[in-house]
Amino acid sequence: MTRFYVTTPIYYVNDVPHIGHAYPTITADAVARWHRLLGDETMFLTGTDEHGLKIQRAAEENGVTPQEQADKTSQRFRDAWEQLDIANDQFIRTTEKRHHVAVQELLSRAKANGFIEKGSYAGHYCVACEAYYIDDDLIDGNNCPIHERPVDWLEEDNYFFKLSALESELTEWLNSDTVFPEGKRNEALGIVKLGLDDVSISRTSIDWGIPVPWDDGHVFYVWYDALINYATAVGFGNDEAEFGKWWEQSHHIIGKDILRFHCVYWPAMLIAAGLKPPKQVHVSGFLLLGGKKLSKTGLTQIAPADLVEDFGVDGFRYHFLRDVSFGPDSEFSYEGMVSRYNSDLANTLGNLLSRVATVVTKKCDGIGPKPNPDSPLRPIAEQSYRDAAVAWDQFQSPVALEAVWNLLRETNAYLERNEPWKMEAGSTEVATVLGDALEVLRLAAILASPALTRGSTAIWQTIGLSGSPEEQQLPAAAEWGQYPGGLAVAKNAPLFPRLKVEDAS
């Protein structure tokens, strides 16, 4: 049996879930769903990153413990993902015991291998921020950029990770088909080529973190704790055999803002600990709003819940999977979302289902006929599956979905050419045409199910099939001609009612 392991970034609980979090999460969910259709043993991980100064400080401000603070905000992410039909197999939290064990184990191994040593870090320190700043950040050369008051020159003992010793290993890893798309791999190579400094991985100034096992006064700096979650979740430090099996198939989905950490630091940490670097890292671009990065700060924040209210779960998921390609930045707009929903979901797919159901009702007494083995739609459907399979394998959801919609458009054209509504009721001609269309709907329900978690099941039931599209297994289920015929086809209300632009908020 093939295994497949996919992860999203773990999200920092200092923030509320927004569409910038939703996009990589939906992509990972869809890719995981595709692999389940293929019958792969699949592990899909997401979670929250809960240590660090910001959480500690937020907790103090709210008069709660850091753990309570983390509990509350972590739950928001769980709720958000539930709303979006995210079917993750695990939800990891970096405050879990198993994670502490894994972090201490992994970094102890790196230390034993000579990649961690003590040093001291010195820098401009703002007491109010409890943080260091580099020269370029300072205002007028000596003032904290946030508090605008003088910083102190402070020195503290830290443990350093000897990143500089791993340049050749990293270059080799980056050159072996690991980071996608290629442009992002080049960026990572560029970072390595510029020369890597050793990085400080512990702090003595805060205590909301995972203790350094060999030195009581230190906790690990939040990044070096966070990255390890991907290993923790599949058994590292707990069940080595299990870990090994999953880790061979690890795929990380990240945003380009954290490329440095996932394509340089993280593989280096794994190598230092004597482990394999990740199998693949897929780097997405940013969502842009009017050409500007959709960041966690400012007015650009858009709550997934608001969009789900307008577009439904399917409309929300479909938009991101269809319109946001993996790699370059993408423009997000409400109008674009409406347009995509109407053209693809309401018109091409939803309307096809409606017209087929109506004609079956009128011409076949509501009983769906069998498809024609030699249908002209057959080769198109087969190509559609092949294209989708390749695209999903490359995490290219827009290409995969376009392949399915091409089949749907061809089917609308096929109906137009044959005009079954003009044919004699009960004739073999009308049965053939409608059987083919029903077969396409069966296929589309399966192939679109990673995106349309609800609509695909609705189609399945409307055309009289039992069970659900998610239970089907590819590639066998994609073979033409499996719609059995003789099933009652329901004439329901429109599956995806058209949206009017005036609905825009």
Partner RNA sequence: GGCGACGUAGCUCAGUUGGUAAGAGUGCUCGACUCAUAAUCGAGAGGUCGUGGGUUCAAGUCCCACCGUCGCUACCA
Distances (CA, A) of 27 to 32, 393, 395, 402, 439: 8, 12, 8, 15, 27
| Contact in structure between 289 and 297 (CB atoms under 8 Å) | no
- Provide the 8-state DSSP code for 303: -
Identify whether 18 is a catalytic site residue. yes
| Region of 119 on the Ramachandran plot (φ > 0 left; ψ -120 to 50 alpha; else beta) | beta
Distances (CA, A) of 92 to 16, 136, 376: 17, 36, 48
Q: How far is the CB of 200 from RNA (least distance, A)?
A: 4
Q: Give every CB contact of residue 290 below 8 A, 6+ residues apart in sequence.
A: none
HSE at residue 410, side-chain half, CA atoms within 13 A, is 20
- Between 360 and 474, whose beta carbon lies closer to RNA? 360
Distance, in Å, from the CA atom of 81 to the CA atom of 78, rounded to the nearest integer, reads 5
Q: Which of 72, 245, 279, 296 is catalytic?
A: 296
HSE at residue 487, side-chain half, CA atoms within 13 A, is 22
Q: How far is the CB of 320 from RNA (least distance, A)?
A: 11
Identify whether 256 is a catalytic site residue. no
| Contact in structure between 274 and 113 (CB atoms under 8 Å) | yes
Q: How many other CB atoms sit within 10 Å of the CB of residue 66? A: 22
Distance, in Å, from the CA atom of 369 to the CA atom of 483, rounded to the nearest integer, reads 8
Distance, in Å, from the CA atom of 138 to the CA atom of 151, rounded to the nearest integer, reads 9
Query: Could you give the 3-state DSSP secondary structure of residue 38?
Result: coil
Residue at 340: amino acid letter: R
- Between 87 and 191, whose beta carbon lies closer to RNA? 191
| Contact in structure between 431 and 369 (CB atoms under 8 Å) | yes
Q: How far is the CB of 74 from RNA (least distance, A)?
A: 12
Q: Which of 144, 184, 218, 282 is catalytic?
A: 144
Q: How far is the CB of 234 from RNA (least distance, A)?
A: 20
Q: How far is the CB of 480 from RNA (least distance, A)?
A: 20
Identify whether 293 is a catalytic site residue. yes
Q: Which of 54, 72, 129, 362 is catalytic?
A: 129
What's CA 100's distance to the chain center, in Å?
25
- Between 187 and 310, whose beta carbon lies closer to RNA? 187
Q: Which of 99, 126, 252, 262 is catalytic?
A: 126
Q: Which of 118, 147, 193, 276 is catalytic?
A: 147
Identify whether 296 is a catalytic site residue. yes
Identify whether 129 is a catalytic site residue. yes
Q: Which of 54, 72, 293, 491 is catalytic?
A: 293
Q: How far is the CB of 401 from RNA (least distance, A)?
A: 11
Q: Write out the two tokens for 147.
A: 């508090």
- Between 280 and 325, whose beta carbon lies closer to RNA? 325
What's CA 413's distance to the chain center, in Å?
34
- Between 421 and 482, whose beta carbon lies closer to RNA? 421
Q: How far is the CB of 192 from RNA (least distance, A)?
A: 11
Q: Which of 18, 99, 111, 124 is catalytic?
A: 18
Q: How far is the CB of 325 from RNA (least distance, A)?
A: 4
- Between 112 and 425, whose beta carbon lies closer to RNA? 425
The 3-state secondary structure of 321-387, one letter per residue: HHHCCCCCCEECCHHHHHHHHHHHHHHHHHHHHHHHHHHHHHHCCCEECCCCCCCCHHHHHHHHHHH
- Between 61 and 416, whose beta carbon lies closer to RNA? 416
- Between 27 and 348, whose beta carbon lies closer to RNA? 348
What is the set of active-site residues? 18, 21, 126, 129, 144, 147, 293, 296
